[in-house]
Structure 1
Amino acid sequence: MKLYSAKQIYKADQISIKKEEIGSNELMERAALQLFNWMHLRMQGAPVKIHLFCGIGNNGGDGIALARHLVDHGYNVEVYVINYSEKRSKDFLINLDRLKDRKVWPHFMNSDDELPEIGREDIIVDGIFGIGLNRSPDAWVVKVIQHLNNSQAFILSIDIPSGLFTDQGPEDFEAIVKSNFVLSFQTPKLVFFLPETGKYIEQWEVLDIGLDPEYLRVTETDYELIGKNEVLTMYKPREKYGHKGTYGHSLIIGGSYGKMGSVCLSSKAALYSGSGLVTSYVPKIGYNILQSSLPEIMVLTDADENELTDINIEIEPTVIGVGVGIGTSEATVKALSSFLKTNKLPLVLDADALNILSLNKELLKNLPEDSILTPHPKELERLIGKWEDDFDKLAKVKKFSKKHKCIVVIKGAHTIIVQNGKGYVNTTGNPGMATAGSGDVLTGVITGLRAQGYPALDAAIFGVYLHGRAGDIAVESTGFQSLTASHLIDNIAGAYLDLFKMPEQPVVEEENQPS
């Protein structure tokens, strides 16, 4: 699913209006009806008080139009217009007149007005600001927003939580509505999935308001949302006459004294993701550990007992995953440097391999094109430097990815995969995956997919999706706190099977028929 910018959504509005030969107020009415139908389906006329807080732009116009439909269906409604400017949009004024025709008179709130009383059992509809907001609200409007947040009432935001910018980071974190639910027109917004801004949205749903499908289809976006439908097109089925050599040979290079578990996790994950063969290259101390814990894999050892000092590979793997548990000792840095200068095979780099690169940035020029880097936030900071906000971070990652012709997997609640100026936002995963070894498993999954012939970008996107989906399946039986990296590996199979699982259909009870 494409994630459109505010500018692209505005253009979609204009093209839709022109092609359909309708007025902009008709498009607003379409949006308001979708909002009303969503609420009415769930509320069914419940005697709850609904407070609609509307701005004086088009987002406020959506709220005013929604209020009219709620009034027409007997709901208990109070409408407040946040009078933050003398300017009013044309469609806001049209819908204000329609509401007044119902003898409903909104409360126009100004800077010196008292804040209305809101009960905990009431519902707030937030329509103060929309996707066009480009500056922080005035101080008195911020107080209104804080009043809504402190009310403990359920907050439903129209299109985007008021106070959030669509395409830039927040200036004032106190000036943002904390929404329990967002009904987003046509597409979710990128800010729903970023660490700094996603915390203002508990849940969201897209409402199709009928924007021009051709424009939406042909328009390229900087970001896409990745779910099951997107990864299904990447999936490579097994061949009937395939053999273990058909599905590639993964080499996992890693480990040091006390850190052999990471290699076990990565190697096992590569195997479970479908790699035909898996070899681990470890210090001698890891030989017995790997051979006894993973009988399906092969093991090669470094000359040193406790750490990697000379990465000398006598096999020809398909892809190499390197970095898990290797440490950053002087000898290991030297070994990795020598390896990178001669290696031509596809790479997946994680953990201490990334830390070594960040301390020796001249080594980045030795990475094969389309190498996949999988940093967590601190590792990423060491690679690209500090960032001001999430948008600045994404801009820096895009620049880094272009410069070094690599793929960067920004690990987090919604992992984002970046290649050559484009980002892919993952939808699977949960807080239980914030546990030791989770990243090692991801390295193995991506390496295993790459070994099977998946293009680098597909391997990164599909690997992140499978990893998160395995976590979502596992957490149903473990809970967040008890989820471990091993549970993720155990549920990779379930993540694969889930790709082809049809959604459950709702049970429709038949009416009693006369005998």
Structure 2
Amino acid sequence: MQKLINQEQMRSADAFTIKNLDISSIELMEAASMAFVAEFVQEIKTVETPINILCGKGNNGADGLAIARILQDKGYSAVAVYLVDFSDKQTTEYQTNLNRLKDLWFPLTTVKTVAELKNIKCGVIIDAVLGSGLNKPLSGAYAELATFINGLNYQVIAVDIPTGFPAEGAFAKTDIFIKADLVICFQRPKINFFFPESVAALNRFRVVSIGLDEEFIEKQVSPYQLLEQRDIKELIQPRKSFTHKGTYGHALLIAGQKETMGAAILAAKGCLYGGAGLTTLSIPESGLIALNTALPEAMYLDRKELAASALEKFKIIAVGPGLGTDATIIDLLKNLLKLKVPLVIDADALHLLGNDESLMKQLTEGSILTPHMKEFDHLFGAHESWWARLETAREKAVELKCVIVLKNQYTFIVDQQGKVMINSTGNPAMAQGGMGDVLTGLIASLAAQGYEARQAAYAACYIHGMSGDQLAADQVSVKASAIAEHLPAVVKGLTR
């Protein structure tokens, strides 16, 4: 996993690299600017494209000045530099790179008011105005500049971070930022890039290495980690000779009612295609024909017989998809909690937990909760921001000794120690009903196969999203059932 660090730690990494790798600050900046350009030219391939570089007077602006020089060396013939002079302060690196441009007789335009930008050429804007050192919302001329740039509807590519956007921490909905189509960020993505609120500041981002000391970064204390494919490759074990269905565990899924049998079947699909040795589905008798038709491999346990059945044989029990919330279901959930076995809890079962705080306190250690935003707020109270929501998830995962899978485009998996694993697989083509049901089944499948709760949760999220990514390569939307059916191919690819 790749450790994500805050900006204070990133500045420490800069300082450590400069001190210990015998490199100056301006040389490190040159490396960063060259890395930016190497990525930029993959995005903007036509060298005649008008490129307008807006440079503040700090180190972000200094990057912009170096980028202008390097782009000119690469043959980009329509580069214009605008020196945004809204402050009396400037850094040494800014002055150094400005002098280098002046020595080349590079055309420079000093901008003291936003009105002076009214004749800016249509083309690409490189935002190098303010970087990650900013610790307050934009105001005055900077806010006016952001409003102006956003109104142009030109393609904006930001250097490291969009102007005005905080790298971490909550911010107000009224805050304004320069909106970037693409951010080319240095060494690590900013933590706030993974929150839905980031859509106000960027559409997408790419990360480039600038040569900071990786060993130093990985030693920093941070609860945030970004899942990588190698983590899943190292975790998921290929199947061995002489194994059998008992080797891969027995999962029980308690799901579905007459009107929502599809949710139960999708969860069972996620479990079966995820590789569980045995999958039993407890549904109302009215759904038996549908189950046998759709999934003859799944076994059936009548809901009425559930309380009397010996549940110890199941390695994991998942409960919730399409289950309903009437009195009989409440009693069912209470009985399950008394068993003191880990549960995967989703959908309607989460709703019932949120209705009765005493049930929450009965959760068995190692249980896995899988809420989306509204379910999470029903469980733990309303939140003004995703940052606050994630902080609550960290507190509650430690308090309840459970794993919380907070679902979104970037899903946050929070373990019992309050550590956050961020999953980057998945895409908007998966924005259809039933995706969460498949994920619940897949988590149960991996737990049944013997993976620890946190491992089952983060591996399931990654594999589920990867299935969607592969299917979305040539489809505008992807069905939940297709995600489930493609899981074996994804896992096979990860275990080669």
**What TM-score results when the alignment is normalised by the length of structure 2?**
0.94
Match of 2:369 in 1: 373
Whole-angstrom distance in 1 between the partners of 2:406 and 2:6: 21
Whole-angstrom distance in 1 between the partners of 2:327 and 2:45: 68
Q: How does 1:289-308 map to 2 (within 5 A)?
A: 289-303=290-304
Structure 2 CA distance for partners of 1:490 and 1:374, relative to 1, 3 Å: same
Q: How does 1:233-244 map to 2 (within 5 A)?
A: 233-244=234-245
Whole-angstrom distance in 2 between the partners of 1:323 and 1:112: 55
Gaps (5+ residues) in structure 2? none
Whole-angstrom distance in 2 between the partners of 1:432 and 1:165: 28
Residues 138 and 175, structure 2, Cα contact 8 Å, conserved in 1: no
- Secondary structure of the equivalent of 2:147? helix
Match of 2:480 in 1: 485
Q: How does 1:89-488 map to 2 (within 5 A)?
A: 89-104=91-106, 106-111=108-113, 113-120=115-122, 122-171=123-172, 175-198=176-199, 200-303=201-304, 311-315=307-311, 316-340=313-337, 342-419=338-415, 420-480=417-477, 483-488=478-483
Residues 414 and 425, structure 1, Cα contact 8 Å, conserved in 2: yes
Match of 1:62 in 2: 63
- Secondary structure of the equivalent of 1:233? helix
Whole-angstrom distance in 2 between the partners of 1:266 and 1:39: 43
Displacement of 1:173 in angstroms is 5.1
Q: Deviations over 1:58-80 (max 9, x none)?
A: 11111112122234455322211
What amino acid is the match of 2:218?
Answer: R
Displacement of 1:260 in angstroms is 1.5
- Secondary structure of the equivalent of 1:366? coil
- Secondary structure of the equivalent of 2:125? strand
Residues 275 and 488, structure 2, Cα contact 8 Å, conserved in 1: no
Whole-angstrom distance in 2 between the partners of 1:355 and 1:251: 20
Match of 2:53 in 1: 52
Displacement of 1:105 in angstroms is 5.2
Residues 236 and 495, structure 2, Cα contact 8 Å, conserved in 1: no
Residues 118 and 151, structure 1, Cα contact 8 Å, conserved in 2: no
- Secondary structure of the equivalent of 1:258? helix
Structure 2 CA distance for partners of 1:158 and 1:222, relative to 1, 3 Å: same
Root mean square deviation, CA, Å: 2.0
Displacement of 1:100 in angstroms is 1.7
Match of 1:495 in 2: 490
Whole-angstrom distance in 2 between the partners of 1:278 and 1:72: 62
Match of 1:16 in 2: 17
Whole-angstrom distance in 1 between the partners of 2:117 and 2:235: 53
Displacement of 1:124 in angstroms is 0.8
Structure 2 CA distance for partners of 1:59 and 1:311, relative to 1, 3 Å: farther
Whole-angstrom distance in 2 between the partners of 1:272 and 1:45: 46
Displacement of 1:314 in angstroms is 2.2
Whole-angstrom distance in 2 between the partners of 1:353 and 1:312: 20
What amino acid is the match of 1:76?
Answer: A
Displacement of 1:313 in angstroms is 2.9
What amino acid is the match of 1:494?
Answer: A
Residues 143 and 176, structure 2, Cα contact 8 Å, conserved in 1: yes
Once the two structures are aligned, what percentage of the paired residues are identical?
36
Whole-angstrom distance in 1 between the partners of 2:86 and 2:4: 29
- Secondary structure of the equivalent of 2:331? helix
Q: Deviations over 1:196-248 (max 9, x none)?
A: 11453333222211111220232243211223222111112212111111100
In the TM superposition, structure 1's runs of 4+ consecutive aligned residues that sit over 6 Å from their partners are none
Whole-angstrom distance in 1 between the partners of 2:377 and 2:44: 46
- Secondary structure of the equivalent of 1:164? coil
Q: Deviations over 1:37-59 (max 9, x none)?
A: 33356656712221111111111
What amino acid is the match of 1:327?
Answer: G
Residues 252 and 266, structure 1, Cα contact 8 Å, conserved in 2: yes
Structure 2 CA distance for partners of 1:38 and 1:484, relative to 1, 3 Å: closer
Structure 2 CA distance for partners of 1:45 and 1:478, relative to 1, 3 Å: closer
What amino acid is the match of 1:383?
Answer: L
Displacement of 1:300 in angstroms is 0.9
Whole-angstrom distance in 1 between the partners of 2:41 and 2:464: 37
* Equivalenced residues, count: 492
Displacement of 1:333 in angstroms is 0.9
Whole-angstrom distance in 1 between the partners of 2:95 and 2:474: 53
What amino acid is the match of 2:401?
Answer: K
